[in-house]
Structure 1
Amino acid sequence: MDAEVPKAAVSRPATGWQDAVALTGFILVAVGQASNQVLARGLAGSVPPFSLAFFRWGIIAIGLAPFAIAAIRDGNIAPKQTFWPILAAGFLGMFLCGGPVYIAGITTTAIHIALIFALSPIMVLLISAALGIEHIGPLQWLGTALAFAGALLIVSGGHLATLTQSSAAWGDLLVVFAMLGWSGYTLVQSRVAPQASLLARVSLFAAAGALFSLPPALREIWMDPAEVFNARAAEAYVFAGLVPGLLAYAGFAWLGGKFGSVRTSLVLYVAPFASAILSWIILGEPPTMLHVVGGVLILGGVWASLRK
């Protein structure tokens, strides 16, 4: 799905043209990330989900392969030692955030997907606290409570009694499952060959994600090959591989190297707004007051939790 935040790094103050480049970069990367959610909703199951995921991750793996090959050649990635961690990262971050999200787009909106995925940093914080990596203070607990309240509001549609009866809610819950996978991926990926570049590692993770997506994709091909191999599907594969794939990951890595991960992490807050605007313009699905209230709670809670 969306590119992860790298480890914290010291960023130098930006001036003049750097601010302009940073702002442009943030917008492009956020739009690239949001475009996958809009794609999931726009296709609404018309393209088989796991075939779409397989080709998306395959394009990313091939496109970034030169970085992975160079890292392996230079000894920054040892395939034998990192084989299982790479598979784990590919399963959590690519497989779980691939087909399931495209299935969810049948019943839930792109704005819902973006806001639910915005919870990922808080889940990473909670997992880190459970593992003894992070300490959670009172402000962080408050932020966590606010963010989860916003998520519950969005998933339930404001009606908790009908939470398990709504098809849209089930789509949202599928996105929650994918978001949990992305949170696990965020923790795992930074520990897999950390000396290698982000793009080199993403190439291998994407290859693993394509591998996990292949069996259900083959089933889709067997059941209805005409749905998998047609012009509309091919356009979706190329778009998913290039825009929310290569553009989003490469752009995020470039921003992190140019301006530091502290500033680059602001993409977390820009992406939901980009998704809302794109949904309104492309899909004709404007944000509602429920999205506004839920979004304020989620993004405000994330900000409070990560403020330290």
Structure 2
Amino acid sequence: MDQGAPSAVTAPAAAPTTAPPGAKLNPKAVAAATVTVLLWASAFVAIRSAAAHYGPGALALGRLTVGSIALLAVWAIRREGLPPRAAWPGIALSGLLWFGLYMVALNWGEQKVDAGTAAMVVNIGPMLIALLGGWLLREGFPRQLMVGMAVSFAGAVVVGLAQSGGSGSSVLGVLLCLAAALLYAAGVVAQKPALRHATALQATAFGCLIGTVACLPFSGQLAGQLGHAPLSATLNLVYLGLFPTALAFSTWAYALSRTTAGRMGATTYAVPALVVVMSWAILGEVPALLSLAGGCLCLGGVALARRR
């Protein structure tokens, strides 16, 4: 999704070797992770804007369709071929859980709660990624990572509470965002083993395609809403497909293939802080001092977790 780092266009032709758990990310992977975080933060704002005109499933299908077309076009130009057989279980599972169901749950949740609250709840995901990665992927539980995650999670909670403004967030919305966090964590842990066999572009392109197929039941809804939605909402849908999906998921996969799932998950704790800034700039929402304090905690925890 982002650039300035190896993206869908610049993904390596051969499956990279996963870095050891304690290894430091190389500069290109750091740039890729940074691009992912920035674009995923922007997605919360874009979803919030488009959700008034597109249903959760229709928005997910439209976003994934745009993303799949872009990714498969790049995949065809690069002639990387199909992923190896060993990569398909992880690609299929991450495609269903992360690209498909996660996006529907998040879109639905953002119809019920504000972007800051959604970002806070979804950012429980990295905690689950670290726990699942330590258990299922045998990445272990480095103390520095766990301490950094705890600090960032505290910051994410502060940001979410400040953004909610005491307005009584929908219980359903919070539960949907919690479900999105669980799907996100499961999808990342499923994708990690696939990246031992497939390139970042292969894993992202075919994962996105599988997510698109999973959302096809919403095609009728999407067709109907496309005709009535304003141009701004449709442009948001296209933006979500090209950047927070096609580019950002590619840069994520590139960086994930070079570090642990837990350490990569921790980098997304910067998202709530960035959502506050973007909401301020784009939606005209002035962040409270409490939001800024929570954002500083998020970023400080990310820095702590990424230290060797």
TM-score (norm 1): 0.72
Equivalent AA in structure 2 for residue 183 of structure 1:
A
For 1:116 and 1:287, locate their aligned partners in 2 and report how far apart those are by CA, in whole Å. Answer: 18
Equivalent pair of 2:96/2:211 in contact (CA under 8 Å): yes
Q: How does 1:189-228 map to 2 (within 5 A)?
A: 189-192=191-194, 194-219=196-221, 221=223, 226-227=227-228
Equivalent pair of 2:18/2:196 in contact (CA under 8 Å): no
Instruction: Answer yes or no: is 1:287 the counterpart of 2:294.
Output: no
Query: What whole-Å deviation, never above 9, does each CA across 1:143-165 have from its counterpart, x for those lacking one?
Result: 55555555556666799xx9xx9
Instruction: Answer yes or no: is 1:121 the counterpart of 2:123.
Output: no
Equivalent pair of 1:154/1:291 in contact (CA under 8 Å): yes
Equivalent AA in structure 2 for residue 198 of structure 1:
A
1:276 match: 276
Q: Helix, strand or coil for the counterpart of 2:182?
A: helix
Equivalent pair of 2:40/2:244 in contact (CA under 8 Å): yes
Q: Helix, strand or coil for the counterpart of 2:215?
A: helix
Instruction: Answer yes or no: is 1:173 the counterpart of 2:178.
Output: no
2:42 match: 35
1:99 match: 104
1:186 match: 188
Q: How does 1:73-112 map to 2 (within 5 A)?
A: 76-78=83-85, 82-112=87-117
1:57 match: 64
Distance verdict in 2 for CA 1:201–1:187, change over 3 Å: same
> 1:12 offset after TM fit, Å?
8.5
> 1:72 offset after TM fit, Å?
3.0
> 1:29 offset after TM fit, Å?
4.2
> 1:110 offset after TM fit, Å?
2.3
Distance verdict in 2 for CA 1:181–1:306, change over 3 Å: farther
2:246 match: 246
> 1:287 offset after TM fit, Å?
2.6
- Please, which of 138, 141, 147 is the counterpart of residue 133 of structure 1? 138
For 1:131 and 1:255, locate their aligned partners in 2 and report how far apart those are by CA, in whole Å. Answer: 20
Equivalent pair of 2:63/2:245 in contact (CA under 8 Å): yes
Where structure 2 has 5 or more consecutive residues not aligned to the other structure, the ranges are 8-16
> 1:200 offset after TM fit, Å?
1.4
2:80 match: 71
For 1:171 and 1:276, locate their aligned partners in 2 and report how far apart those are by CA, in whole Å. Answer: 19
Larger radius of gyration: 1
For 1:198 and 1:110, locate their aligned partners in 2 and report how far apart those are by CA, in whole Å. Answer: 29
Query: What whole-Å deviation, never above 9, does each CA across 1:177-213 have from its counterpart, x for those lacking one?
Result: 1122111111111212523211111000001111111
Equivalent pair of 2:226/2:234 in contact (CA under 8 Å): no
Where structure 1 has 5 or more consecutive residues not aligned to the other structure, the ranges are none
Equivalent pair of 1:41/1:106 in contact (CA under 8 Å): yes
For 1:279 and 1:154, locate their aligned partners in 2 and report how far apart those are by CA, in whole Å. Answer: 12
Identical positions, percent: 24
How many residues align structurally?
287
Equivalent AA in structure 2 for residue 37 of structure 1:
F
Equivalent AA in structure 2 for residue 178 of structure 1:
A
TM-score (norm 2): 0.72
Distance verdict in 2 for CA 1:225–1:11, change over 3 Å: closer
Query: What whole-Å deviation, never above 9, does each CA across 1:211-263 have from its counterpart, x for those lacking one?
Result: 111113435657x67447x6445323321111212332345567789xx659x
Q: How does 1:152-167 map to 2 (within 5 A)?
A: 166-167=168-169
Distance verdict in 2 for CA 1:290–1:8, change over 3 Å: farther
RMSD over aligned Cα atoms: 4.1
Distance verdict in 2 for CA 1:127–1:282, change over 3 Å: same
> 1:40 offset after TM fit, Å?
1.4
Equivalent pair of 1:199/1:249 in contact (CA under 8 Å): no
> 1:52 offset after TM fit, Å?
1.6
Equivalent AA in structure 1 for residue 90 of structure 2:
P
